[in-house]
Amino acid sequence: MPILSLQNISKKYGPVQALSQVSFDVPPGSVFGILGPNGSGKTTLLSIVTDVLSADEGSFTLFDQQPSAKQRRNIGTLLETPNFYHYLSAYRNLQVVAGIKQRSEEDIPRVLELAGLTARQHSAFKTYSLGMKQRLAIASALLGDPDVLILDEPSNGLDPVGISEVRTLVKQLAQAGKTIIMASHLLDEVEKVCTHVAILRKGKLLLSGPVNAVITRDDFLEVGSADNKALKGVIEKHPAFLQLSVTPEGLLQVIFKEPVDPAALNNWCSQQGIWLSHLQVRRKSLETAFLELTNN
Ligand SMILES: Nc1ncnc2c1ncn2[C@@H]1O[C@H](COP(=O)(O)OP(=O)(O)OP(=O)(O)O)[C@@H](O)[C@H]1O
């Protein structure tokens, strides 16, 4: 049963088509990254799912049911950084949030602990680092112990330490069994934190699926020999050869039409009289795959 299932969601702002026929499923227990450049529709999509906006067309289910207040109570959301009171402590701020969201105050120590803020719970919010402020924001989304968290760009504006703190927290929450849906334009973050990804460009879904499947779509082999020119001629004759590029160091990066076992390639080259001095399986990073997808 998907936690969230989108069917052909479209949304326009006047003439701007912010989302166009977007469909994908978020599996339970996943850390699902919605990845796209600025203006690709990530916030619009999360706003529709969290009932801040309504879609023009299409529909979606939450926990396999029509969205209702009951399902939404099982989802903690963080669409923008909440306006915490600067002079109040983290604890007092969470009391305010708990009152607004009608969540029990008894849950406050638990969420502070999860966010690693127990030791500083009585310090004024204004004394917090940016990373701590964002962790407090995530703690506020965790009040009531929802099974699902929706976070819009949780690392936005943070320094590397803050990014790392938030990343660690997201991973811990995932390990504790939460499903996390997060928008991000940080490819590195999606690659390191997310199990699944949906890539949006100008409101259209380019692809979605497990991060591993996206990254490994285009494995390639990097090869070199004492005579790379001769090697190039040989490689181009390989029955599965598709395309090739040369690195600044003169190594050949080869994409085949179908998976080619490195050992078999080594054998094949030696049969053609070429001995490989370099043979490495390289994976395109999600960043490369993403840039290629969004440029096309
Ligand atoms: N309230 C609005 N009125 C008009 N156009 C809007 C509005 N909100 C968003 N848009 C437009 O809709 C498109 C999608 O915007 P959206 O904020 O959903 O993208 P995003 O991927 O979240 O971008 P960012 O990473 O910059 O936040 C953009 O072209 C944006 O300019």
DSSP string, 207-238: EEEEHHHHHGGG-EEEEEES-HHHHHHHHTTS
DSSP string, 62-87: ETTB---HHHHTTEEEESS-----TT
49 CA distance to ligand 1 middle (Å)? 15
For residue 61 the two structure tokens come to 């289910």
pLDDT of residue 256: 81
Q: CATH topology for 219-295?
A: Alpha-Beta Plaits (3.30.70)
What's the angle, vertex CA 52, arms to CA 102 and CA 203, rounded to 5? 145
| Residues of the chain above pLDDT 90, percent | 65
Instruction: Kindly report, residue by residue over 32-80, the tens digit of the pLDDT.
Output: 999 988 889 999 999 999 999 999 999 999 999 999 988 899 999 999 8
Q: Place 291 in a pLDDT band, splitting at 50, 70 and 90.
A: low
Number of C-alpha atoms within 13 angstroms, CB side, residue 194?
34
Decide whether any atom of ligand 1 lies within 6 Å of the 12 Cβ: no
pTM of the model: 0.77
Q: Is residue 260 a contact partner of residue 220, using CB atoms and an 8 Å limit?
A: no
Domain layout of the chain by residue ranges: 4-215, 219-295
| Mean pLDDT taken over the chain | 89
43 CA distance to ligand 1 middle (Å)? 7
pLDDT of residue 294: 63
More confident residue, 47 or 216: 47
- Does residue 217 surpass a pLDDT of 70? no
**Ligand 1 atom closest to the CA of 40, numbered from 1:** 21
Instruction: Kindly report, residue by residue over 98-118, the tens digit of the pLDDT.
Output: 999 889 999 999 999 999 999
Decide whether any atom of ligand 1 lies within 6 Å of the 87 Cβ: no
8 CA distance to ligand 1 middle (Å)? 18
7 CA distance to ligand 1 middle (Å)? 20
Decide whether any atom of ligand 1 lies within 6 Å of the 20 Cβ: no
R_g of the chain computed on alpha carbons: 24
**Ligand 1 atom closest to the CA of 19, numbered from 1:** 14
Mean pLDDT of 175-197: 89
**Which strands sit side by side in the sheet containing 16-26, from one edge to the other?**
16-26, 4-13, 57-62
pLDDT of residue 85: 95
Decide whether any atom of ligand 1 lies within 6 Å of the 278 Cβ: no
Decide whether any atom of ligand 1 lies within 6 Å of the 44 Cβ: yes
272 CA distance to ligand 1 middle (Å)? 56
Q: Place 190 in a pLDDT band, splitting at 50, 70 and 90.
A: confident
Instruction: Kindly report, residue by residue over 228-271, the tens digit of the pLDDT.
Output: 999 999 999 999 888 888 888 889 988 887 778 889 999 999 99
Q: Is residue 196 a contact partner of residue 24, using CB atoms and an 8 Å limit?
A: no
Count other Cβ atoms within 10 Å, centred on residue 162: 18
What are the backbone dihedrals phi and psi of residue 256, each rounded to the nearest 5 degrees, phi first?
Answer: -105, 160
Mean pLDDT of 162-173: 90
- Does residue 296 surpass a pLDDT of 80? no
Question: Best mutation site among 38, 201, 206 for ligand 1, i.e. most ligand atoms within 8 A of its Cβ?
Answer: 38
pLDDT of residue 117: 94
Decide whether any atom of ligand 1 lies within 6 Å of the 185 Cβ: yes
State how far the alpha carbon of 206 is from the alpha carbons of 17, 19, 40, 250, 256, in Å: 15, 12, 11, 33, 23
Which protein residue has the closest C-alpha to ligand 1 atom 18?
Answer: 41
Superfamily of domain 4-215: P-loop containing nucleotide triphosphate hydrolases (3.40.50.300)
